[in-house]
Amino acid sequence: MTSTSKSRFGFKWGSSSTPTYTPAERKGEVSDLRTQLRDPTIDKDNNRRRDVLKKVLAFMTLGVDTSSLFTEMIMACITKDLVQKKMIYFYLCSHSETNSDIAILAVNTLQKDCKDESPLVRGLALRSLASLRLPQLAEYLVPTLKQCLVDTAPYVRKTAILSTLKLYRISPDTFFSMGLKDKMYGMLRDNDALVSMNALAVLEEVTEEEGGVQINKSILYFLLNRLRDVPEWQQTQILRLVLRYTPVSEDEMFDIMNLLEERLRGSNSSVIIACSHVFLYLTQNLPTVHKQVFERLRDPLLTLMSTAQSVETSYAILCHIKLLVQREPKVFQNMFKDFYCRHTEPTYIKSVKIAIITQIATETSASAIITELAAYAGESNLDVARLAITSMGHLARRIESASGQVMQHFLEFMTLDVEHIRGQTLVVMKDFLRKHSDIKVVRPFLEALVKIYKDMNFEDDESKTALVWVLGEFGEHIEDAPYLIEGMSSNLVQEPYQLRLEILTSSMRLFFKRPPEMQPVLGLVFRQLINDFSHADVHDRALFYYRLLRHNVRAAAQVVCTAKESVATLLEDDLSEVSDKLFEEFNSLSVVYFTPSSVFTRKEDVDDEDEEEEEEEEEEESVDENAGLLSGGVIELTEDVTIEPPEFQKKWAKLSASATFTAKMKKSPDSEVFEEELENCNIFTMASGAQGTATKMYLYAREEGDSNNTHFLVELVLNQDASAVVTVKSDSPHGLGFAELLKKVLSKF
């Protein structure tokens, strides 16, 4: 049957169709293959023998069990045809683990082939012998390895070195006891460059726990002088070794840099970035030379960026340039036009370029850069448009002379009938006005805002929050400011907490500027926020402002309307600390993510069995803790407790709070189920009812064995976001202990 004919089951061996077999048909087909492998007439015809072997491998690919042919395949090893040997060796390596006893029979044949006159056969046999992956074969593999490591053919030596790594993975003890580690160090000086690089790769893996290959001056210089003879991947291996070596003098440092100078004139991005890392590492303690290195790296990196064959490579290079710019922006200041965005570039490329030109802008180039950014603001891509507007605000804060031009563009943006542009402009203007608060500068913006605010349809909460901030800061110059805040305050509890906080603060500030108009508005804000317990920060701040006003209005004005210092630099603009960490991880994913590796990687300190034991211990502790809660924990609560509503109300009004806290639960429970679970812990409900979207409950409990008729009284507000605001009052000295117990009970919901 030829390679393109059909088998009796309809499978065309030369096609890509997928046949289906019954178990009986599979068994019959494999039996036919066994017969053909034993047929002496086929054995003498290399082409027919190849076809049979191809069928065996095809069955393996389809998932058919061909392990019963193992004996026949071992016998077929005795052939001079290299193609047949490759197929047979592939079969033996694939089935050796499931036929470990029979695989021993193949060892003699493979060892014999390792002495064949053809280096291709020797290398193939050795690779197959090492690929059997059987620990009991280590004693047969070692002598063959030692023989092949000194073979005259570089291909065989290269294969032998990689085979030692397979031996290390099978039996590390054998690898070290036979002195193969020292042998690998000796092979670093092999006459063939690829053999030397394979030895380096093996040493890197076997010495990983020791910190990698131990490098001295002679080995390093030997490898550096071989850079021209090895492919780019091996070049990066050698360059990484330089990072582990400390030159003994400046002259030696310059010698190494001179050897590597040629690498910067190449076209491979991996080699150039690795070489850049070496230059930065060697000169890190020499500021003057370090700055010169930045200038030397500029042109190769810019060339890579513009000639990269893929946008992914270009993005990685841009991320590294961005990191260099943060340390030495002056080096790239005259090259700002190289970072202008093309219309066809993806968003992630444009975002990095915009960040770079924003950092390298100077008073001379600011005008051209701002004009370019203003053009990006009109793009259909929302992310690019918002980033461009944000970058313009950053330039206005950093370069004083650019603020006027930026303001003019912002005024134009506010007149555009594009909501995301107007909204982002408003957000950025909030930070701009924190520095430029002079009314002469601000007035044109306020006049533009008054004209268009009624037509604005806020697409995000951030721009709406920015508008409220402007109303609070400059409301005395905006006639309708109180009424705008009043319109936003009609249903505060449904707004995000950031907006609620801003409305509260702006209402307070505007109250002291325009009291008659803001008094009813401020009362409306207080009434909603003080009675809302969905967010503790909002509730507490509203209560603080209210009590401050009742206590001393003048003091409240000093607290809320105190003069603010001009803001020149925002905290998020200062990235020096992150940059220092990233320079230590140059030429890695940390630079691309702009995040230290400790944030997105995790080292496994324990194995799976230890983790399982820890989980079991945690489960046991959890069971014990639940049992303790049901019995009252440290404080035992009695189920025999009664208190009349009038007595509860009288005690509640008389007692001061023992503890106040907010508890976060896993999910918001049903109020009836919630009350039943509390009763199981001997905490009973006096009264409950809906309060807006929340449920307010009054609870009571008493300590076991208490003869003084003392009680624990609780006000609990259960919110829809699975949080509970709790106030505990008690005439018992153990009020704090009860509060801790209640926290544990609530944490179980």
Using H for helix, E for strand and C for coil, what is the string for 684-747? Answer: EEEEEEEECCEEEEEEEECECCCCCCCCEEEEEEECCCCEEEEEEEECCCCHHHHHHHHHHHHH
Name the token pair of 451.
Answer: 């004209």
Radius of gyration of the chain (CA): 38
Alpha helices in 514-644 (DSSP H): 515-530, 536-551, 553-560, 576-584, 589-593, 597-600, 608-630
Predicted TM-score (pTM) of this structure: 0.69
Domain extents in the chain: 24-245, 447-565, 645-748
- For the four alpha carbons of 642, 648, 654 and 659, in that order, the dihedral sign comes to positive
Residue 42 confidence (pLDDT): 79
Q: How far apart are CA 328 and CA 336, in angstroms?
A: 14
**Number of helices (H), then strands (E), in the chain:** 38, 5
Do residues 153 and 119 lie in contact, with contact meaning Cβ atoms separated by under 8 Å? yes
pLDDT band of 610, cuts 50, 70, 90? low
Q: What is the DSSP letter of 266?
A: S
pLDDT digits (tens, 9 = 90+) for 469-527: 888 888 888 888 888 888 888 888 888 888 899 999 999 999 988 888 888 988 999 99
User: Side-chain half-sphere of 101: how many Cα atoms within 13 Å?
Assistant: 0
Q: What is the mean pLDDT of residues 82-105?
A: 77
Name the token pair of 12.
Answer: 């065309």
Residue 651 confidence (pLDDT): 85
pLDDT digits (tens, 9 = 90+) for 69-78: 877 887 777 7
pLDDT band of 7, cuts 50, 70, 90? very low
Do residues 519 and 557 lie in contact, with contact meaning Cβ atoms separated by under 8 Å? no
- What CA–CA distances, in Å, run from 118 to 141, 151, 186? 20, 12, 25
Q: What is the mean pLDDT of residues 6-33?
A: 53
- Which is nearest to 416 in space by CA: 461, 456, 460? 456
Q: How far apart are CA 485 and CA 507, in angstroms?
A: 7
Place of tokens 């009664």: 642
Residue 26 confidence (pLDDT) above 70: no
- Residues of the chain with pLDDT > 70: what percent? 89
- For the four alpha carbons of 632, 638, 642 and 643, in that order, the dihedral sign comes to negative
Which helix (H) or strand (E) segment holds residue 44: the answer is none
Q: How far apart are the first and last CA of the chain?
A: 71
Give the fold, CATH level 3, of 645-748: TATA-Binding Protein (3.30.310)
The most confident of the ranges 128-142, 410-424, 449-463, 614-628 is 410-424
Buried b (16+ CB within 10 A) or exposed e, 356-386: bbbbbbeeebbeebbebbbebbebeeeebbb
- For the four alpha carbons of 277, 278, 281 and 287, in that order, the dihedral sign comes to negative
Do residues 659 and 735 lie in contact, with contact meaning Cβ atoms separated by under 8 Å? yes
Q: How far apart are CA 699 and CA 550, in angstroms?
A: 31
What's the CATH code, domain 24-245?
1.25.10.10
pLDDT digits (tens, 9 = 90+) for 539-578: 899 999 999 998 888 888 888 887 766 665 655 555 667 7
Which helix (H) or strand (E) segment holds residue 659: the answer is strand 657-664
